[in-house]
Amino acid sequence: MEKLKEYAKQSVLVLMLGLALFMGFTVGYHYNKIVTNIINQKNIKTPDNTSVAINEKNQLILINKQTGEYILYSDSIGSSIFNIYAKSIVSLK
């Protein structure tokens, strides 16, 4: 019976150590993903580094001036933003 108790104590100790290691690796993995996601979201589009255009299909195009990469938005988004921008220009005059 004493050997069984000693074996149970060692088993619980090994299990707790394994669980602690598993939890540590899990937290580290998710922390890395969260930090990487936050860093990627800090890419703010400003008029200095972005050009805005609307093509003949009324699709909105945001062009990164530094890299030349662009994002193409659907025609409904392009026309909505163009209408908002046009109204703000008309109201300024």
The predicted-structure confidence for 43-93, as pLDDT tens digits, reads as follows: 677 778 888 888 888 888 888 888 888 888 887 887 787 788 778 777 655
pLDDT over threshold 90, residue 19: yes
What's the pLDDT at 93? 54
pTM summary value: 0.44
Is the Cα torsion angle 10, 13, 15, 18 positive or negative in sign?
A: negative
Q: How far apart are CA 67 and CA 18, in angstroms?
A: 47
What's the pLDDT at 24? 92
- Of the two residues 4 and 41, the one the predictor is more confident about is 4
pLDDT over threshold 70, residue 41: no
Q: How far apart are CA 38 and CA 32, in angstroms?
A: 10
The tokens for 21 are: 């290691």
Residues shown for the chain: 93
